Structure 1
């Protein structure tokens, strides 16, 4: 009888154990965040790198993920917590592989710290005397694979600092200290920064990065090259996403804009109307535009009509500043570059494609810094989604165009 009772107990224990395992498995499946959500990206990223999750001081649903190992870049953000849309484009395959790539490691992220210029006699992406082609192009480790140490943090901000040296195409060596701080914005901050009275019935998230390069050695000179700060944001495209870049003056004939980086952009993908340039951002045709500081405004954005997401970047702009030119050639005037760039990803000639994604980019001017002096660049990124009426009011006030106009520009 005792043996029989023992057998029954074992059978019951095994049955209960199996049931618990099955229930646990079912619960795990039910709790796994859906692809495309902030929760999904958070779970994915923390498998491979240490992450820092920041939360807005007045809204627990407004969050951002920052990765120190990726130069303190903002990988993604959300306006609606773990179940909300994740706005940044992330290169899942590259991160998962753990293998560094030649030329560039495009991990993704909706705001990363880079240095300019990319091309020309003062480039920091080409070795001295090298031909300006893809085989010789190399993203410096300082802005590609070097981790930036965290020097301070709280629930809504994180600070980084790194010391390094970097050499340009002309042989000039720069000894620098890089500082970067990312801070979540409150709703009041967003209203004040964008000169809005209300955000209406829409969800929102915003953050600010303050970036500086300190010269730790001899004086920088225009004739041997200077460095600029370059911030690039990679976002998810859709067939109904359009980039909006307001500019000055209103006369298009006086517009200092470059639209042929990769050849002419078809008219059904790029339109200049009144004082706004529109670029289709579907991730299906490689194209890029740049606006010089004398014509740029300190604002740009995009609208994804398919998902009802309005994105805005706001940045420092010096209309009289010297902005570094980055095209892959020796420049007659290396300081006649862009303050603002926008990029739509697409297939290369060999049929391969990194994305799809699109980018909004801003740059700082370059300055002849004496030892101990610094150049600083500030950028704010905002995302709004939800009520179309509220989104339209924000777009009209900040970008000067209606949501309907954006949605119909390429129809």
Structure 2
């Protein structure tokens, strides 16, 4: 397969391109649904499709990043990647001890940025990959961590059980990721040493009419969302209405939001009204657990943070832009683990393509709103 034979934006193009980058590329299949996983590129799910080589690619791949080395982050893309947090605060894994938290000093740890992972087992529908790593946080605590990541492509019966709605009349692809970290060292991870968390990030290609949809808990008080991670998100790009947060995801304005574990539910999604793609994500949430603050600052409580996030890419002040793409993210609680203990975080991605009628049934069941409501929200 050669990329010259296919159009950019097709699954066939991305498969041909990625096979050149990783000769051990893994393709999981269920009928016409396919998912691409890369051991060389940190166990990423790079992309997926509902219709094999004829289908649209559903993940965002940053073609320009390959064959280069970036001092801060090798942003290869990928519609589902496994990172470890926190990114900021006094327990950050992205800043060396005692240095200022600025972009110049920010560095993604190599095991989740540039190093290959090992294949533990694989078959046509599932693969398990592992990585042993030693990381040091901002508080100068060392962490021996064994990370394991099992990725399984789902059939339609699996999808229906997880979402409690029929998906028989739409084209679909879905995969479940089971991500675990083990304290493989000799010392406990505590509130004094700090603790890592599992951080799962989905990167998708945007369109002019893509909207992220996040249901949230109305039965509690306090702020619904943190909306100023990278400066305040403009009011015309975000809306809160009847327990639903809508966020414009067109890849044209950089902004990130987060929802704390008391407000967050276990579901988020998006709808691309141009390409008629409904995306649903479900993930583990524990409202009683401790989640880490990931902001780039030393002030505030490092043990109070968000359980899920969404990001819309856009130009930086100098006009440069990595994407465009948008992200839906989930994180695990802080892993306060004794030696030998394991924390697991599940995150599942579904893509559906079909008629407005059929997609609305899924959207209403999973997200609590119709496609019409999503389209007209912003």
Match for residue 168 of structure 1 among 137, 149, 165: 137
Measured after TM superposition, the shift of residue 255 of structure 1 is 3.8
Q: Could you tell me how far apart the structure 2 residues matched to 1:119 and 1:356 are?
A: 24
CA contact (8 A) 1:211 1:377 kept: yes
Match of 1:70 in 2: 41
Asked whether the 8 Å contact 2:282–2:349 carries over to 1, the reply is: yes
Does residue 138 in structure 1 map to residue 107 in structure 2?
A: yes
Q: Residues 90 and 81 of structure 1: is their aligned pair in 2 closer, same or farther, counting only changes over 3 Å?
A: same
Taking the TM superposition and a 5 Å limit, the aligned residue runs for 1:342-353 are 342-353=310-321
How big is each residue's C-alpha offset from its partner over 1:310-362, in whole Å with a ceiling of 9 and x where there is no partner? 00110011001111111000143111111110000001111110000000000
Which position in structure 1 is the counterpart of 2:188?
Answer: 219
Query: Does the 8 A contact of 1:236 with 1:358 survive in 2?
Result: yes
What SS does the corresponding residue of 1:220 show, helix, strand or coil?
coil
8 Å contact 1:314–1:380 — kept in the other structure?
yes
1:220/1:368 contact within 8 Å kept: yes
Identify the residue that residue 43 of structure 1 maps to in structure 2. Answer: 16
Partner of 1:87: 58
Separation in structure 2 between the aligned mates of residue 290 and residue 381 of structure 1, nearest angstrom: 19
Instruction: Provide the aligned length of Structure 1 versus Structure 2.
Output: 376
- In 2 relative to 1, CA 127–28 (structure 1 residues): closer, same or farther, beyond 3 Å? closer
Residue 12 of structure 1 corresponds to none
Structure 1 segments of 4+ aligned residues over 4 angstroms from their partners: none
Is the contact between residue 113 and residue 231 of structure 1 (CA under 8 Å) also seen in structure 2? yes
Q: Is the 8 A contact 1:204 1:385 kept in 2?
A: yes
Q: Is 2:337 aligned against 1:366? A: no
2:301 aligns to what? 333
Tell whether the 8 Å contact from 1:70 to 1:147 is kept in structure 2 after alignment.
Answer: yes
Paired with 1:162 and 1:384, the residues of 2 have a C-alpha distance of 32
1:311·1:383 contact (CA, 8 Å) conserved in 2?
yes
- 5 Å matches for 1:207-246? 207-217=175-185, 218-246=187-215
CA contact (8 A) 1:249 1:255 kept: no
Q: Secondary structure at the match of 1:45?
A: helix
CA contact (8 A) 2:156 2:168 kept: no
User: Computing the radius of gyration over CA atoms, which structure comes out larger, 1 or 2?
Assistant: 1
For the structure 1 residues 28 and 219, does the alpha-carbon distance in structure 2 shift closer, same or farther, using more than 3 Å as the test? closer
User: Deviation of residue 34 (structure 1)?
Assistant: 2.4
Q: TM-score, normalised by structure 1?
A: 0.89
What is the CA-CA distance between 1:406 and the residue it aligns to? 0.6
Any unmatched runs of 5+ in structure 1?
1-26
> Which residue number in structure 2 is paired with residue 191 of structure 1?
160
Deviations, residues 107-163 of structure 1 (Å, cap 9, x unaligned):
000000100100110000000001010000000101100110111100001111121
1:103 Cα deviation from its structure 2 partner: 0.3
Mapped contact 1:89–1:357 kept (Cα < 8 A): yes
Conserved 8 A contact 2:2-2:17:
no
User: Any gaps of 5 or more consecutive residues in structure 2?
Assistant: none
